[in-house]
Chains A and B, each alone.
Chain A
Amino acid sequence: MAAFEETGPSTPVVIATRVDKVNPRARLAGKLRAALVIVFAVIGLIPVLVMIATAFKTRTDILASPPLIFFQPTLQGFVNLFTDRAIVAPGRMEEFKQRAQTGEMTLWERVAFEMGQEITGVSDYVARLQNSLIIAGLSTVASVVLGLFAAYAFSRFKIPGKDDLLFFILSTRMLPAVVVTIPIFLMYRQVSLTDTHLGMTLLYTAFNLSFSVWLLKGFIDEIPKEYEEAALVDGYTRWQAFYKIVLPQAVTGIAATTVFCLIFAWNEYAFALMLTSDRARTAPPSIATMLGSGGIEWSGIAAGSLGFLIPVVIITFALRRYLLRGITFGAIRQ
């Protein structure tokens, strides 16, 4: 048992809330404060609202000057995003009109026809979105799980050169994407990992690990180690103590870390741009290069961005309780 080392606080962490004297002036100040917060939130959300509006605008409405606040919403952006289309040949116009009138067309086909186009197939974007789901999902799980193990080891065991190792782990986060991309590009070419799901998943996991180890170590440091010691005395194995005692108490940290890792992996652009071309290309670089016949396809970009943002927002909202509770990196010693 000499392998243990005393780390972290020995007393339970008390999360205290300030209790103000409730007098009318303090209450008014509180109201004002809340109003100010809401004003800030609204200002911050204006660009997001613009994104939502743009996703439902027609091409002409987007290019209107001054910009329109009220407009007729349309699904053209989403049709542009998810389908490949061709211009309807003039000879077939009548046939299409008839089909539109008799209601034989699906909603998607009708929207495309409004633009004078017919749908020829599903766009590449669907596959890109699938790639994003696979790569971001797998790498988030991997970086949280591996990070949790490593953080536990760093928090509870005596490891020679621990501080240097931790700094080394953090320093991997300091590398500009382009720095590592050149050698990884060459290395992946050797082992044929370029443009593969596995290659991208490993890369995102490695990049997120530094963050997750640091973040999770902060949380595990705050869990009193007496609980585990008691369990060990009771006959639990080290693994059981970790699994049954530490894990349930680290839920806050795990949730917060998941959010951060997911945001990074889901939105990553530089690696994906440089290391993938087709098979494993994720959505962000493909949203960025969405060009229509007449320049940048803004409605498609907005629709893509909006659809791409929603899953992250949902997960963050679901886990907000944990996220707002405290991410301390172990920086605060109680």
Chain B
Amino acid sequence: MSPATAPLPAPRRHLSDRAILNLFIWPTLALLISLNVFPLVYSLYLSFTDYSAIANKAPVWVAFKNFADILGDERVWQYFATTGRYALLSVSLQTVLGFGLAMLVRQKFRGSGVVTTLILVPMMISPVVVGLFWKLMYNPTFGYFNYLLGFTNPSTGPDVIASAFAGKPVPNLALYGVVLVDVWMWSPFVMLLVLSGLNAIPEYLYEAAAIDRASSWFQFWRITLPQVAPLLLIAVLFRTIEAFKSFDLVMGMTGGGPGNQTELVAVYLYRVAFLGQFRTGYSSALAYIILIIIIAVSNLYIKYLNQIRGES
């Protein structure tokens, strides 16, 4: 920018930094306040009431009754346990697979940009469609999944959606089926973030290690992993949050079944909030319990993130 091309001072009074700041930040904050904060406060109130959105009756204050009902309900605990198992399994598998993939595509080869983008395709599909579609894939008679694994006879192969193998029920098979699909869909996301981290590692670190004749094992543990850790953790944080919120995929695939083997909390929440009697008060309380768990888990991650960020 040479001074010659710079515009003359604006004839009318230009905006001060203060005005720019307000102009830039308030639209976002206003939208978030009206569509996130207000609903949150509103549902906090509703969680202490007995209320149904479809009944023509005003909310009745019941204090902690909804919370007591939820915490005293064994089924809800079971749904939380299922959700926790689902989150732990799928996030850890995604992390390992996504990290591995990123290490593999890190070095460029001819067409690597296209191939890497092709790997991302699963995460571009609507999760509910993915769920529906895998229901077809998993079908024991006309699905490709069993067929490609070599189970050509439907009566002796697995039926993932029904959580059975050769006609006998196998507990949790349906849940593992959902986990597999989630891993298929979201490992590319972890890969993408880790890849960004890998690309940002300064070359001189490796050069210094090479001068010291450090083994590649040592380079991986002492350079690659610590450098990429913050982004890996962000990927894991996002995936954990999403796993707790997981709704679309399961709705499309199993609808919570068979029985309630894949009934994740978000699915159950939808059921009580929007089906049958629309138990708005009760579901608001349940929603708050889920939210508190998610915030607690995220805070742990963020604390850890700041810690490793401070070290590197």
Min distance, Cβ B284 to any Cβ of chain A, angstroms? 6
Q: Scoring A residues 1 to 25 as 1 if CB is less than 8 Å from chain B, else 0, what string do you get? A: 0010000000001111111100000
Contact at A328–B6, with CB atoms within 8 Å?
Answer: no
- In the assembled complex, the Cα of A329 lies from the Cα of B141 at a distance in Å of 46
Contact call B142/A206, Cβ cutoff below 8 A = no
Cross-chain contact B123 with A263 (CB below 8 angstroms):
yes
Measured CA separation A31–B309 after assembly (Å): 35
> Which chain A residue shows the least CB distance to B181?
A47
Q: Does B88 contact A (CB under 8 A)?
A: no
- Interface size counted on chain B using CB atoms at 8 A: 115
Taking a contact as CB atoms under 8 Å apart, the answer to whether B35 and A180 are in contact is yes
> Considering the complex, which residues of chain B in the window 286-308 have a beta carbon less than 8 Å from any beta carbon of chain A?
287-288, 290-291, 294-295, 298, 302, 305
Does A329 lie within 8 Å of B43, measured CB to CB? Answer: no
| Chain B stretch 276-290: residues in CB contact (< 8 A) with chain A | 280, 283-284, 287-288, 290
Known: A149-B24, A316-B117. A329 touches B269 (CB 8 A): no
- Whether A182 and B280, one on each chain, are in contact in the complex, defined by CB atoms closer than 8 angstroms, is yes
Contact of A302 with B by CB under 8 A: yes
Given contacts A159-B25, A182-B280, contact A324 B124 (CB under 8 A): no
- Say yes or no: A182-B53 contact (C-beta < 8 A), given A33-B107, A237-B10: yes
The distance from the CB of B293 to the nearest CB of chain A, in whole angstroms, is: 10
Contact of A301 among B133, B142, B184, B309 (CB under 8 A): B133
Asked if B156 is at the interface of the complex by the 8 Å CB criterion, the answer is no
Q: In the complex, A324 Cα to B102 Cα: how many Å?
A: 11
| A203 cross-chain contacts in B, Cβ below 8 A | 35
The segment from A84-92, A99-107, A305-313 that touches chain B is: A305-313
- Whether, in the assembled complex, B128 has its beta carbon less than 8 Å from a beta carbon of chain A, the answer is yes
Does B25 lie within 8 Å of A150, measured CB to CB? yes
A147 contacts which chain B residues (CB < 8 A)? 28
A149 engages B25 (CB within 8 Å): yes
Flag A134-156 by CB within 8 Å of B: 1 or 0 each: 00000000000011011011100
Instruction: Verify B195–A238 contact, CB threshold 8 A.
Output: no
CB-CB contacts of A256-271 with B at 8 A, as 1s and 0s? 0000000100111110
User: Are A328 and B196 closer than 8 Å at their CB atoms?
Assistant: yes
Interface residue? B78 (CB, 8 A): no
* Nearest CB on B from A49, distance (A): 9
Chain B neighbourhood of A94, CB < 8 A:
none
Query: Which chain B residues lie closer than 8 Å to A213 at the CB level?
Result: 28
Asked if A172 contacts B234 (CB within 8 A), the reply is no
Closest Cβ of chain A to B289, distance in Å, is 10
Chain A neighbourhood of B291, CB < 8 A = 174-176, 179
Chain A positions 229-267 with a Cβ under 8 Å from a chain B Cβ: 230-231, 234-240, 242, 263, 266-267
CB pair A328–B126 under 8 Å, yes or no, is: no
Interface set, chain B 79-131, CB cutoff 8 A to A: 101, 104-105, 107-110, 112-129
Q: Is A34 an interface residue (CB 8 A)?
A: yes
Q: Is the CB of A176 within 8 A of B35?
A: no
Tell me whether A239 and B15 are in contact in the complex, defined as CB-CB below 8 angstroms, given that A30-B109, A67-B142 are known contacts: yes
CA distance A267 to B116 in the complex (A): 21
| Contact yes or no, A171 B273, CB < 8 A | no
With a CB–CB cut-off of 8 A, which chain B residues contact A274? 270, 274
* A65 contacts B35, C-beta separation under 8 Å: no
**Residue contact B200 to A187, C-beta cutoff 8 Å:** no
Say yes or no for A122: interface residue by CB 8 A criterion.
no
Tell me how far the C-beta of B115 lies from the nearest C-beta in chain A, rounded to whole angstroms: 5
* CB closest residue in chain A, given B274: A274
CB distance from B258 to the nearest CB of A (A): 17
Residues of B within 8 A of A (CB): 1, 3, 6-10, 14-18, 20-21, 23-25, 27-29, 31-32, 34-36, 38-40, 42-43, 46, 53, 101, 104-105, 107-110, 112-129, 132-134, 136-137, 141-144, 147-148, 152, 154, 184, 188, 192-193, 195-197, 199-204, 206, 227, 230-231, 233-234, 241, 244-245, 247-248, 251-252, 266, 269-270, 273-274, 280, 283-284, 287-288, 290-291, 294-295, 298, 302, 305, 309, 312
Closest 8 CB pairs of A and B: A16-B203, A183-B39, A267-B126, A179-B287, A331-B230, A149-B24, A206-B35, A326-B196
